[in-house]
Every structure is written in C-alpha cells, then in structure tokens.
Chains A and B, each alone.
Chain A
Amino acid sequence: MSALACNPRLFVALGALGLIALVSIFAPWIAGHDPRVAAPENQLLEPSREYPFGTDLLGRDVFSRVVYGGRRTLGVALLTVVVTLLPGIAIGLAAGYAGRWFDWALMSVMDALLAFPSLLLALALVTVFGSGMVQIAFAVGIAGIPAYARVARAAVLEARTEAYVDAARAIGARPVGILARHVVPAIAMPLLSFAGVTLSWAILNSAALMFLGYGGDISAPDWGVMLADGRESFRTGPWIAAAPGVALSLTVFAINLLANSVALPLRNR
C-alpha cells in the first residue's frame, strides 16, 4: 500500500485499468443498447442523452459498442499474450539454461524471426491461419514470441550467475528443480514487466489486424473494427472513430504506465 501512496503513476495506471476491466466485465449492464442490432432510422445521430457517444452509419449505439468492444479487444489481447508468454518463457529458459549449441540454435531461429517486422510476420501468419479472432490472437502472439524469448533468456543468463544457483548445482540438484526453485522466482519480476509491454503491443497489433479487416465478423463490436468503420464516416460523424480511439489509447497508456512504474523500483533496487 505504501508503494501506491508514494507512486501516483501506479495509482493512476491501476485505477484506469480497474475501470476498464470493470466496464468490460459488466458490459451487459452498462451498455444501454444491443451493440450489433442496426437501426437505420437512427443513422449518424450526434451524441445525446440517449446515445452518449452518438450512433454510427447503421444506427448502432457507439457507447454500447465501445463498452462491448472492450471485451473483444482485450480478450483477443489477453489470449495473444498467453500465446506469446508460454512458449517465449519456455524457449528463454531452455536456451538460457542449457547454453552451448542448443542456445545457439534456438536463438538463431529467434533472430531470424525477429528480422521480420512483427506486424508483417503477423500478417503473413494470418495468410496461413485465415481470418478470425482466435486466428489473429495466434498470429500476433506467435509474432511476439522471439522478442519475449530473448528477454527471458537474458534474464535467465543473469540469474544463472548467482551464487545460490551454483550452490544448488554443487549439491547435485537436478536442472528442472534448479529452474523451478531458483531461476524462475529470480526472473519473475522482469518478465512480468515485459509482459505489460507485450500486452500493450498485443492490443495495438491485434486491433491493427482487426482494423485491416482480418477479424472475420465485421458486425462485431471491436475497437479496431470500429476505428475502420469510423474512418469512412469521419467527415459526417467524427464521434464514431473518436470513442473507440480514445478507449484504445487510454487502455494502452494505462498498461504502459503500469509496466513503466513496475519497472522503475526494480531498476533502482
């Protein structure tokens, strides 16, 4: 709690993220309208009491779509992070701990994958997987693995030099036991902080693929899809893109701020 009091950034970041999470979880109670049902008679209404963020080209309530959109956008991003983290950590641990030719071979492949700009790699993977929410999560998630594996490996290499790891090896502990008991706890915090960076990056990239139209379901409420819809009618209804745009930026900002304020005390330690 004292960390909260002396770190206003952490306070702001956690507050904003908590709010976004609550709104997404309780979306059905917060949104006043069905996010998918089109009502042509309500086309392009300006923001009002009934429609706080106005309506879009098909007469759907933008506020409800933003509220429900958080579920989809953040859901895809969370799945993306899982797809990145699990193999990323496993590869980083294996390469960093095994060393020698195994490390070299794994890291060469990771370097080769890193040579592809991440969004291009995700796009190429979408070609293979096809369109859809889960497909996007896997494409963006796999594209993120090499960077995460590199960070994990660097953390493992640093933890390996600790005296207690040598001591454990000297008394004959098995590698898996050493990894689980000594190395993983030592690298948990830097990995967590980088997971935050990965999450904000996952939101931006998966929303980018949604924006480009690879989400499959085009009527679904989704911040990326809404930004694409809003771009086409920005002249007549700027609120359509503004609402999801602000929501997206706010979420990414809060996550970046959180990752940054978690990393700071670590660096000063």
Chain B
Amino acid sequence: MMAYSIRRFGSALFVAWLAMTLAFVALRWVPGDAVDATLARGGATAAEVAARREALGLNDPLWRQYGEYVLGLVQGDWGESLVTEQPVAEIIWQNIGATSALSGAALVIAVTLGVSLGIGASLGRWRPIRYGAEGLAWLALSTPVYWTATLAIYLFTIVLGILPGVGGAGVRYLILPATVLGFHTAGSIAQVTAASIRDALGQGFVRTARAKGLPEFDVLDHVLRVGMLPVVAVVALQLGFLLSGTVITEIIFVRRGLGRVLLAAIDNRDYPVVVGVVVLSALTYSAINMLADVAYRVIDPRVRMED
C-alpha cells in the first residue's frame, strides 16, 4: 500500500510537470500577446514595445524562459500579468476562495443528488420513483449549465423572487449557481451509481444472502457497499468537470472567481495568467485523482490485489 502510494505520487508529480510544460510551450508559440496589444492601444512606439518585451524577458530563448518560469513556480512566483503587472500568484490567491466555495458547494449537491437519484433509479420499489429518478438523471445529463442557469434565474429570481440571481458574495448568492452546477454533474454520478448497483444486484453473494434468509434490509446493505465503490472514482473525475463548469457559472451569475479571471486573460492574450490558472487546475485535478486512486485501494481490498 505504501509502495503504491509513493509510486502513484511520483506519477502524479510527473504528469503535473508534463502538463505545466505543455501549457507553457503551447502558449509561448502563439504570435501576438498582451504586451503588443495593450501598449499599441496606449499609443506606444515600436521601440517602447521592444523595450518592454526585453524587460519582461520575452526575447530570451524559450529554454531560458522556461527554466526561469519553473524556478519561479516552485518558489511561489507565478510570473506577473502582462496587462495589470500584478503577480499571477496574487491574482489567483484573491479569486481562489470564491471558486473553491462554488465548486465545493456544487460537489456536495452533485454527490447528494446524484447518489440518491442513482439509488432511486436502481432500487426504487415503486415504478414512478424508479422512472422519475432515471428521467431526472437523463435531464441533468442533457441540460448544460448555461441553459439551466437561465431557467433557474428566471424561476427563482424573477417569477418566485425567493433567491438572489446574479452578483453578490454571500451564502444566499451561492445557492443558485451551486445548485445549477451541481445538478448537471449529478446526472453522470446518478448513471454510474445506478449501473453499478444493478451490477451488484446480479452478483452471486446477493443470491446467497437472500437464500440464507437475510432480511432484505441487510441484503441492500451488502449491495450498497459494493455498488457505491465506483462512485468514488467517478466523483473524482467529475471534479474536472466542476472546474470547467465554474467558468461558465461565474460568467452567468456574475460572480468573481478564477473562471472570470481566465476568460478575461484569454480575451487580453495575457498568457502568464492563462498558464497560471490552467496549470493550477491541472495540479488540483492530478492531486485529487491521486487521492481518489489511493482511497479506492483503502476502501476496496480487491483492487489492491491487482497491483
């Protein structure tokens, strides 16, 4: 187990480094960046633009820029914005709270709703419950955030007037965006949960348990223990979607956060900020997947045997 964890940590670190390198190289290849754009707009001469580029080290050979970037990265210096000259680490630090709150709340909603819908769709005794849960899961899977968000704002803010729609920073302002984002994610969690429970229901130990006269409640306990295992993996995968989903959710609900920062940086061709945010989400995602892999082996000894 220890050996596996160390090996898994090593490969996560390697993948994160590769991801960072890819992001850095890809975005240095493209012509025209924020320095040209912002200075030219301000009426700077070609000589001034050249001087600024020189000062920022943009004329150095790529390997040298890369080396300095990596050195800075491990020391917590993520470069600075080409537009505002604010350090990227500072920009990220100012916005990470809002984004974490949104994706955290959305994750809680997605897991709660997704697992209950999945259980309802596979174990529901009463037909309407089974079909209702399955239908809701399909609906969640097929409606993107940018469509449900519009509907939710219309219903809860305009028609019913019970929840604030856009802007704001308090907990009340978190309810709608987190629910909308969590709802879409719940769709795939529900489908995996339902499929996995149906799989478990067909296995031999269920028949044995029933045959020896175990009360149905205890049989379900067996089924759920086995059936819930793949959910751990899918939740970790869905976190990647949540990180994407926050971008759109933040735009629609006019919330501050890394998603808005990223979009603004893309529009301005502010590469250090783009690389910073993208690398941060890649790091988060590989860290979470590593933890999920290790957790999976702690929960399910059968997987451990395969290593």
Contact = CB atoms under 8 A, between A and B. Distances in A.
Given A212-B263, A256-B141, A108 B150 contact: no
Given A112-B15, A124-B27, A208 B146 contact: yes
B240 interface: yes
A: interface residue count bin: 35 or more
Interface stretch (A36-44, A47-55, A91-99, A231-239): A231-239
A256 B138 contact: yes
Q: Is the interface of B mostly helix, strand, loop or mixed?
A: helix
Interface stretch (B82-90, B116-124, B221-229, B247-255): B247-255
A211 B19 contact: no
A112 B244 contact: no
B282 A115 contact: yes
A127 B150 CA distance: 26
A253 interface: yes
Contacts of A230: 150
A249 B30 contact: no
Given A208-B144, A208-B146, A111 B247 contact: no
A212 B30 contact: no
Interface of B: 14-16, 18-19, 21-23, 26-27, 29-30, 138-139, 141-144, 146-147, 149-151, 153-154, 158, 240-241, 243-245, 247-248, 251-252, 262-263, 266, 269, 271, 274, 277-278, 281-283, 285-286
The 9 A-B residue pairs whose C-beta atoms are closest, nearest first, are A119-B244, A112-B18, A253-B142, A115-B282, A117-B244, A112-B19, A245-B147, A252-B142, A117-B240
30 contacts: A108-B14, A108-B18, A109-B22, A111-B15, A112-B15, A112-B18, A112-B22, A115-B16, A115-B282, A116-B278, A116-B281, A116-B282, A117-B243, A119-B244, A119-B245, A119-B248, A120-B243, A120-B278, A123-B262, A126-B266, A127-B269, A128-B27, A208-B146, A224-B146, A228-B146, A230-B150, A231-B149, A238-B154, A249-B142, A252-B144
Given A116-B19, A207-B144, 6 more contacts: A117-B244, A117-B281, A123-B247, A123-B262, A123-B263, A124-B26
